[in-house]
Structure 1
Amino acid sequence: MIKRENLRKTSICGIINVTPDSFSDGGQFFAIEEALKQARKLIAEGATILDIGGESTRPGSSYVEIEEEIQRVVPVIKAIRQESDVLISVDTWKSQVAEAALKAGAHIVNDITGLMGDEKMAEVVARAGAQVVIMFNPVMARPQHPSSLIFPHFGFNQAFTEEELADFEKMTIEELMEDFFDRALARANQAGIAQENIMLDPGIGFGLTKKENLLLLRDLDKLHQKGYPIFLGVSRKRFVINILEENGFEVNPDTEAGFRNRDIASAHVTSIAARQGVKVVRVHDVASHKMAVEIASAIRLADHAENLDLKQYK
């Protein structure tokens, strides 16, 4: 019997970065009114979730103090909530920021440290009865890996012992993700987070090599076997841009073609993800990803399509 959940189209989560140094929008939506204007646009284009982030996690970014991050995200969440009942996710690994955001009207905590960066995060999520995105964070599991060294430090303390880190270095990326999720899910279970409130994110782009990114995307079906919905963020990730560049496509974001090509390529990945039944894709350009979701979801749900004759072209 097919679960009702598996009959749903992939949902689109639109990104609103209220940071002055975001890798994707360069702080364009730092002001509340601009963020609100962007929220309206994303919702109109088909986003059913908005992900609000007040701290950039791109390579070379800097730590944002808790109070500063709260001041960035909470006014935006409140402004959106005043005029829309759209689902809101807060992109933070800090429990105090999450707690303030949930009180302001957010429904989901998108934790890039997978509950490992702040020991109080799981408790905050459980107490609020909120949903949580637990992301696999290779940067935390392999801090000395060449692909991790360009990223900022995530978490208040070192999440793993030196012995554990040494063991991680011997694992394949699939084994490492499995181990990381087992630990994170144990923490979620201990705190009392309901299983139906958990989504898993394979952490594409965070301290992974090009091959590792591709392997995790290719094998999303294996992640599905853990029994949790998948939340996937690949929009404008560097490895996607790298593939385009290697194959002669324009990728300079200062040109119209280069900027557009990044979203077209990202939408192709979304199409693959939607075809595999990913629950949520986190994107910048909702319009192009909406098209990808509709086509891929129609193919995935072909058995349930109406058997109608197509209209003739005129």
Structure 2
Amino acid sequence: MGILNVTPDSFSDGGKYTAVNTALEQVERMIDAGASIIDIGGESTRPGAVDVVLAEELQRTIPVIEAIKERFDIAVSIDTSKALVMKEAILAGADLVNDVRALQEEGCLEVVANSNVPVCLMHMQGQPRTMQSNPQYQDLLVDIMGFFEQRVAACQQVGIGKERILLDPGFGFGKTLEQNYRLLANLSQFKKLGFPLLSGTSRKSMIGNLLNREVNERLAGSLATAMLAVQQGASIIRVHDVQETVDTIKILQYTHQMQA
């Protein structure tokens, strides 16, 4: 899954792809590099990010989705927590809803239930503006597992079938450095719930803080965490650096084939 942030303030590539033509150029590069899904976000969810009004988020995302679907044969994901953005994105051709708030905002469950697109439910403790201030858990894995069970039940209650649900443990969303790596080391535990897993660690502070690297120096760390996530059973890897991640996963998969 290639990341396309059409925002001025995202932590890694804010402001780079806010115009439709530059967004399309980046999409073409990611497709050529091997991306299967393009994830479009119009509101930054980095720690401390400010909220974006509905009209602004629609203006940023919908024209880009329409342009991508018109020009390329590629699956598109809408990264949003707003019901109306989900609805308009699906009408514009979005193939997946990717929600950091796991359909907890008003109207979101109903919008997805009334569509036929799958949804990725992400775990986040708190809200983006404050989530990293002091995240605490009784038991990290048990707490997140319980959250997923609740959200899956809420989805099924409104008619969103099991086959349409994916899970994302939410690296960097209300987790300390140690908690992030404990999550990565035990990602396979979430396979017990019976849903495909999405992992998004690309260029995040969990890499920068461990290695003491700035955002533009986190490629090696991003690739290492991507490989570990695949080994732990993740089905989708959400990344900025598509070509390098595809190469890494190809080597991993080929080596697995060679095992006696």
| Residue 192 (structure 2) aligns with | 225
- The 2-side partners of 1:119 and 1:301 are apart by 46
- In structure 2, the gaps of 5 or more residues are none
Q: Which amino acid aligns with 1:133?
A: C
| Residue 95 (structure 2) aligns with | 107
Q: Which amino acid aligns with 2:147?
A: F
8 A Cα contact 2:131 2:173, kept in partner: no
Q: Superposition pairs for residues 1-314 of structure 1, below 5 Å?
A: 13-116=1-104, 118-139=105-126, 146-147=133-134, 171-245=138-212, 251-253=213-215, 259=216, 261-302=217-258
Cα 1:137–1:300 change in 2 (3 A) is: farther
Deviations 1:255-297 (A, max 9, x none): xxxx2x3112101111111222210000001011111111222
Cα 1:300–1:23 change in 2 (3 A) is: same
- The 2-side partners of 1:170 and 1:138 are apart by 9
Q: How far is 1:191 from its partner? A: 1.3
Q: How far is 1:244 from its partner? A: 1.1
Deviations 1:23-48 (A, max 9, x none): 11121101111101100000000001
- The 2-side partners of 1:170 and 1:293 are apart by 32
Cα 1:108–1:144 change in 2 (3 A) is: closer
- The 2-side partners of 1:283 and 1:145 are apart by 21
Give TM-score, length-normalised by structure 2. 0.94
8 A Cα contact 2:186 2:232, kept in partner: no
- The 2-side partners of 1:144 and 1:199 are apart by 22
8 A Cα contact 1:199 1:231, kept in partner: yes
8 A Cα contact 1:275 1:297, kept in partner: no
Q: How far is 1:301 from its partner? A: 4.5
**Which is greater in Rg?**
1
Q: Which amino acid aligns with 2:54?
A: I
Cα 1:283–1:119 change in 2 (3 A) is: same
SS of structure 1 residue aligned to 2:98: strand
Q: Which amino acid aligns with 1:278?
A: A
Cα 1:145–1:236 change in 2 (3 A) is: closer
Give the number of aligned pairs: 259
Q: How far is 1:144 from its partner? A: 7.8
8 A Cα contact 1:275 1:299, kept in partner: no
- The 2-side partners of 1:136 and 1:202 are apart by 5
